[in-house]
Amino acid sequence: MKITFLGTGDMFSVEQHHNSMLAEFGDTHLVIDFPESNAKALKEYGFPMTDIHNVFITHLHEDHINGVQMLGYYAQIVGDRKPQLFIHEELVDPLWNILSPGMRYTTDGERTMSDYYDIVPLPDGGTFELGGVTFETFRTQHVPGMVSNGLLAKPYFYYSADSTLDQERVQQAAADVQLIFHECHMHDLVIKSHTSLQDLQQLPAEVRQKTVLMHYHDEYADADKRAQFNREHDLRMVGTLESFELAV
């Protein structure tokens, strides 16, 4: 499995795209979240947007879904098939409420989300399979009252999405995966809906050594600053369009 980060930035990032990951495996793929910045990142990476067939949505904050309208239109107008959209069942209608003002009315009449996407609604803890890989969803601790989900793909990766640290879950998953991709805001302050560097430093050393940091602010868009951080810590920071090769 090849993992490539299409973006690593937080909501306010202007230099490194918003956080999103492309996993390529077998003859298929999965994109986690689809911010608008993915269009540029995919072009830079050399992956046509018409070839995006599988997307998983973690939650409905703008920096994770503001490219979903564009992808739906692009697939319909330029592509030859609807992408599959894997999403928690409680987010399907709220997502369409966001997209509907721009996608409902067309020159060919009114449309629904199923005209643009093959929707795969998932219950709490739901799983789905692509290319022989089973993806397990789990609820994350992000904003109270908001449905948000991470993703586990054994034996490959754990993906926290936006969340505070669930130390017990991370430590349990570490034994089953090669890498842990975890958000880390990197600010020297408390942000109640996100994970800090100090939080992650409490993990056991063997878990930290598997942990890759994403969804951080633009100070670390600078490659030299990331490299310095990586030399000084057993946690690692990933950069935009950086890839990882994970074996079975």
Residue type, 126: G
Please spell the DSSP secondary structure of 112-173, one letter per residue: -GGGT-EEEEE-TT-EEEETTEEEEEEE--SSTT---EEEEETTTEEE--S----HHHHHHH
How do the domains of the chain map onto residue ranges?
A: 2-245
- Position 248 scores a pLDDT of 82
Residue type, 55: V
Residues 6 or more apart whose Cβ sits within 8 Å of residue 106? none
Q: What is the pTM of this model?
A: 0.97
* CATH, range 2-245: 3.60.15.10
Instruction: Report the C-alpha dihedral over residues 21, 25, 28, 29, rounded to 10 degrees.
Output: -10
The angle formed by the CA atoms of residues 246, 229 and 160, to the nearest 5 degrees, is 45
Quote helix, strand, coil % in the chain, to nearest 5: 30, 30, 40
Residue type, 173: A
- Position 3 scores a pLDDT of 98
| Biggest alpha carbon–alpha carbon distance for the chain | 58
Inter-residue contact 3 to 23 (CB < 8 Å): yes
Query: What gap in Å lies between CA 77 and CA 81, rounded to an integer?
Result: 10
Mean pLDDT for back-to-back runs of 10 residues, the chain (248 residues) = 98 97 97 98 98 98 98 95 98 98 96 98 98 98 96 98 97 98 96 97 98 97 97 97 95
